[in-house]
């Protein structure tokens, strides 16, 4: 009897373990692949992803990325995720083309692939989620500088990496509307590679090379903080205005000091939330990524895809001395 009991107990335990394993396997694993770890913008996006996962109830978020903003680092991460057989990959790309072979391999293995924030070529993903309209962002970053330059003047761009998809698109859109802003001259574009120390040095170099510089536009949350610090350290507050895209939590001090009159950003928490909701909807076949299609984004509504299966989340929002204190504790 004891032998039979032991056997039956073993069978029951095995069945229980199998059931638990099956239940665990039912959890959808969505990998949020960012440009690099340790960047506040992406850490805020991860909070949004976790919020979406909690709302969905059967979802695990794998927040990952390389230690620096390189395509090679992201490819290594993607290959690891393929080996782990995740259900979906949502990537903010360091390079528009270089990630395509790895992401195509992921899709061939049945993994849902989307890009968000910074995109990849269409053949490397099912859809792309822009944080906002590229045209609106391009015009906004220039307008923020122009609003404080009534008589025109010199502006320079401090971007992330030279291959960053979103940065290059926004800069191109900015250049399209530059003729609409009389008297404003774009004198240089430099790259800080989303590294604080390099961005700081590049901002210093801009001020040294262009002594009449009126504004530095940094469409990157790392670059804008570094540029504001460089302006403060150079004693040029009131002479050089720093603007672009940044986080209220990181830019509140720059606004208070006067190094930045205003800046803009969408809510990265909402962006991570939306990317996760989209990845889940596609991976679970609740929606399909096709031109003209709509994909649900939970509390953010739905995104409508254009002919290139690209959609926009929301308009950028401007922060200045009137509201930055309110938002700095949020993200």
Domains identified in the chain, total number: 2
In a domain? residue 327: no
Quote the pLDDT of residue 26: 73
| Alpha-carbon span 249 to 39, nearest angstrom | 12
Q: Residue 193, class by beta-carbon neighbours within 10 Å (0-12 exposed, 13-18 middle, 19+ buried)? A: buried
Has residue 24 got a pLDDT over 90? no
**Pick from 58, 123, 120: nearest CA to 87:** 58
- Residue 20's pLDDT band, with cuts at 50, 70 and 90, is very low
Report whether pLDDT(5) > 60.
no
Considering the domain architecture, whether residues 37 and 92 belong to the same structural domain is answered as: yes
pLDDT in tens, 256-301: 999 999 999 999 999 999 999 999 999 999 999 999 999 999 999 9
Q: In the structure, what pLDDT confidence band is assigned to residue 13 with cuts at 50, 70 and 90?
A: very low
The reply to whether 139 and 120 lie within a common domain is no
pLDDT at 22 over 80: no
Query: Per-residue pLDDT averaged across 45-54, rounded?
Result: 98
For 217-268, the DSSP string reads EE-SHHHHHHHHHHHHHTT-TTTSEEEEB--HHHHHHHHHHTS-SEEEE--H
CATH number of the domain where residue 211 is located: 3.40.50.2300
Task: Say which residue, 257 or 3, is predicted with more confidence.
Answer: 257
pLDDT at 127: 98
Distances, alpha carbon 159 to alpha carbons 74, 164, 249, in Å: 20, 9, 20
Same domain, 155 and 258: yes
Determine whether 239 is exposed, middle or buried from the number of CB atoms within 10 Å of its CB (0-12, 13-18, 19+): middle
Give CA–CA dist 285/275, Å, rounded.
Answer: 15
Write down the pLDDT at residue 6. 30
- Whether residue 322 lies inside any domain: the answer is no
Contact between 303 and 294 under an 8 Å Cβ cutoff? The reply is yes
Position 14 scores a pLDDT of 38
User: What span, in angstroms and rounded, lies between the C-alpha atoms of 239 and 291?
Assistant: 47
CB distance 282 to 126 below 8 Å: yes
- In the prediction, which pLDDT does 18 show? 38
The answer to whether residues 27 and 58 touch, using CB atoms and an 8 Å cutoff, is yes
Domain that includes residue 65, residue range: 8-131+268-313
Please report whether residue 206 resides in a domain.
yes
The confidence score (pLDDT) of residue 315 equals 86
203 and 289 part of one domain? no
Is the pLDDT confidence value at 7 over 50? no
The pLDDT tens digits of the residues spanning 185-228 come to: 999 999 999 999 999 999 999 999 999 999 999 999 999 999 99
Which pLDDT value is given to residue 330? 86
Quick one: 246 and 296 in the same domain? Answer: no
**For residue 292, which phi and psi values (nearest 5 degrees)?**
85, -5
Q: Within this chain, do residues 40 and 75 fall inside the same structural domain, yes or no?
A: yes
Q: Which of residues 21 and 191 earns the better pLDDT score?
A: 191
């Amino acid at each position: 009897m004891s032998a039979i009991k032991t056997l039956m107990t073993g069978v029951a335990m095995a069945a229980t373990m199998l059931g638990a394993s099956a239940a665990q396997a039912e959890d959808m694993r969505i990998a949020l692949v960012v440009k690099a770890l340790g960047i506040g913008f992406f850490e805020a996006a991860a909070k949004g992803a976790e919020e979406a996962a909690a709302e969905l109830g059967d979802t695990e978020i794998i927040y990952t990325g390389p230690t620096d903003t390189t395509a090679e680092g992201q490819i290594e991460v993607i290959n690891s995720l393929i080996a782990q057989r995740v259900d979906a990959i949502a990537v903010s790309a360091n390079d528009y083309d270089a990630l395509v072979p790895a992401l195509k391999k992921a899709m061939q293995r049945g993994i849902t692939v989307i890009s968000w924030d910074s995109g990849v070529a269409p053949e490397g993903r099912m859809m792309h989620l822009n944080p906002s309209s590229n045209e609106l962002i391009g015009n906004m970053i220039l307008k923020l500088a122009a609003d404080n330059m009534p008589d025109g003047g010199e502006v320079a761009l401090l971007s992330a990496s030279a291959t960053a998809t979103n940065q290059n698109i926004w800069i191109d859109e900015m250049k399209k509307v530059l003729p609409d802003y009389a008297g404003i001259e774009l004198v240089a574009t430099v790259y800080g590679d989303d590294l604080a120390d390099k961005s700081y040095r590049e901002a210093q170099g801009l001020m040294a090379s262009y002594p009449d510089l009126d504004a530095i536009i940094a469409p990157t949350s790392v670059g804008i903080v570094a540029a504001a610090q460089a302006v403060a350290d150079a004693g040029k507050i009131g002479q050089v205005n720093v603007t672009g895209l940044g986080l209220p939590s990181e830019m509140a001090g720059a606004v208070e000091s006067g190094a930045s009159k205003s800046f803009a950003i969408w809510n990265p928490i909402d962006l991570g939330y939306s990317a996760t909701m989209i990845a889940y909807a596609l991976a679970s076949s609740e929606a399909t990524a096709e031109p003209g299609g709509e994909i649900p984004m939970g509390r953010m509504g739905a995104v409508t895809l254009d002919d290139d299966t690209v959609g926009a989340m929301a308009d950028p929002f401007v922060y200045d001395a009137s509201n930055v204190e309110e938002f700095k504790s949020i993200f």
